[in-house]
A and B are shown apart, each in its own frame.
Chain A
Amino acid sequence: MRYLSWVYLLALFTFILLPVVTLVVFSFQDGRLPVPPFKGVTFEWYAKVLSDRAMMEALFNSLIVALLSSLCALTLGFLAASGLARVILPGSALMRGALIAPMTVSYLIIALGLLQMFNQIGLRPSLLATGIGHVVINLPLCFAIIYAAIGEHQKSALKAARDLGAREWQVLWLVAAPMLMPSLAAAFFLAFTFSWDEFIIAFLLTRFDVTLPVEIWSMLRSGLSPETNAVGSLVFLVSIAIVVVLELTLFRKGSK
């Protein structure tokens, strides 16, 4: 049983890591095809990617869309969670359900609905349209995370602040936000990652200015190329760097 466990662990890790390792290794391929045999190391493809203007613009677009849409989703989610946590309103359960509902619907369907509505009201496919879509998918997530973090202890602290005469914005900004900081941060980074990596909404709702996943997608049409490997490896590297930084700073205290 003991040996079997290790063999199984090894087998599955091979399966899990195989594509990523292959991706990174062949991004250095000194040749036109990212398949064996490995012909030697070159940084040519990385240089090519980094000097590709369309790619860099897409990267910048992705960052902007992810940043703004996550901030928007976070704000809406935070306000809604603190509202629903403070009083029991008639229809509270229904409101919670309504806010969570988009989570149960495929991105493709959300994108299709928005595309039709934007067509009707004359909003062209754009980064703005994509951003709106990303808030729709991330709002439930932010709301759920923050709402789950407001327990009895937090509720009484908020009530105490109000009883001591704090105005509503002061309660939110000076008491609730600092108190809920870990879950606000978690919600923000999760939303950011989802938006950053989201493809189908961005694919349907952008046209000329595109986000990174859409740009990578159009790259795939030309078949396998070490250049695509290089882009993928770069995205991978950046995400890992962010995770490591978060792990070392933000989440250090909460985890053991």
Chain B
Amino acid sequence: MSIEAQEKRQGVALVTPALLWTLVFFAVPFGAMALMSLAHLEGREIVQGHDLGNYLRIFTDPSLRRGIFVSLEITATVTVISVLLAWPLAWIIATRVPQRWRRMVLLLAVLPFWTSYVVRSYSWALVLGEKGVVMNALVGLGLLAEPVQIMATRAATVTGFVHFFVMLLTLTIYSNLIQLSPNYARAAQDLGASQWQVIRLVILPLTLPGVMTGAFLTFVLCIGDYITPQILGGNNELTLPQLIMLQLGRRGDYPMASALSIVLMAIVTLAYAASARWLKMERV
């Protein structure tokens, strides 16, 4: 056997376990789920079928269709607010904070990452509740006559999400900013640009790929999350993941849960296709 053929055989042998794992525990279940989405429930029995009934229902049943819009609205709001808040923060840390404090400040900025995700949502419930710290402070300072209900509304969900994704985006945008050569800004300044113009016309466009990658990540993680809306948003309006869990829990409607999952995936795929040309998925 030639050396080259032997090399190839060994290469294949090394990749095979991982590929098999992905095939058996990812591709197969996923295919099974796609099939399941074409079945339907009769009483408690799952009847295999080949029709698009579940999908038709998702787009006609108001409570299900509403879930898609609720999810999209929340995710869009969260993504936009998070980017708008995180960019200046990353910029200030990268350019205004003295070098020796930078690492410390950055670590502090992502400190809440180290609590568990469930606990982080819980602590927002703690803060935003009617008797929580925020309402206490606002009423105490005389800014509000009496507590306003935030918990169990969309505002609470968005706050919890923004908190998480500001941290995430600050990290990605910061790592983008410090890779830029300071010469760009200097050259623009030498050519007479004001500081504001340097940011708007030079720095901001240069960080766009990083921002888009971060925003896409935010979109994907946000739209697929069950914990935050479930703990903070209450039951007035349900997001797609909440609807999926509801189908599972209430009557074991696997077919509908599967169809909703496929819709959720389709939305993510569309978002990817729409933003692909700006994304910079390094190396892989």
Q: Mark B230-261, 1 if CB is under 8 A from A, else 0.
A: 01000000000100110010000010011001
Residues in A1-42 with C-beta less than 8 Å from chain B: 1-2, 5-6, 8-9, 12-13, 15-20, 22-23, 26, 33-36
- The 8 A CB mask of A115-138 against B (1 = contact, 0 = none) is 011001000000000001101100
B115 near A99 (CB under 8 angstroms)? no
Give chain B nearest CB distance to A56 CB in angstroms: 16
Given contacts A80-B19, A84-B11, A89-B8, contact A224 B129 (CB under 8 A): yes
Q: A residues within 8 A CB of B29?
A: 110, 113-114, 116-117
Majority SS of interface residues in chain A? helix
Let me know if A147 and B89 touch, CB within 8 A.
no
The CA of A83 and the CA of B282, in the complex, are separated in Å by 20
Interface check B63, CB cutoff 8 A: no
Residues of A near B115 (CB, < 8 A) are: 20, 23, 232, 235-236, 239
Pairwise interchain contact A89-B12, C-beta atoms closer than 8 A? yes
Interface pick from A47-55, A178-186, A212-220:
A212-220
Interface contact A101-B22, CB-CB below 8 Å: yes
B126 engages A229 (CB within 8 Å): yes
Closest B residue, CB atoms, query A213: B118
User: Digit string of B34-54 for contact with A (CB within 8 Å is 1, else 0)?
Assistant: 001000000000000000000
Shortest C-beta distance, B88 to chain A (Å), equals: 6
Tell whether A240 is near chain B: CB-to-CB under 8 Å.
yes
Interface string of B4-41 (1 = CB under 8 A from A): 10011011111101110110011111101100100000
The CA of A224 and the CA of B105, in the complex, are separated in Å by: 31
Q: Apart from A35-B129, A147-B283, what are 14 other A-B pairs with CB-CB below 8 Å?
A: A9-B97, A17-B112, A87-B8, A89-B8, A98-B22, A104-B268, A108-B241, A108-B244, A108-B245, A109-B33, A216-B118, A216-B119, A236-B115, A255-B103
Which A-B residue pairs are the 3 nearest by beta carbons?
A83-B14, A106-B224, A113-B29
Residues on A close to B: CB < 8 A?
Answer: 1-2, 5-6, 8-9, 12-13, 15-20, 22-23, 26, 33-36, 76-77, 79-80, 82-84, 86-87, 89, 95-96, 98-102, 104-110, 112-114, 116-117, 120, 132-133, 135-136, 139, 143-144, 147-148, 168, 196-197, 199-200, 204, 212-213, 216-217, 220, 224, 228-229, 231-232, 235-236, 239-240, 243, 255
Enumerate chain B interface residues (CB-CB to A < 8 A): 4, 7-8, 10-15, 17-19, 21-22, 25-30, 32-33, 36, 85, 88-89, 92-93, 96-97, 103, 105, 108-109, 111-112, 114-120, 122-127, 129, 131-133, 136, 163, 166-167, 195, 220, 223-227, 231, 241, 244-245, 248, 254, 257-258, 261, 264-265, 268, 272, 282-284
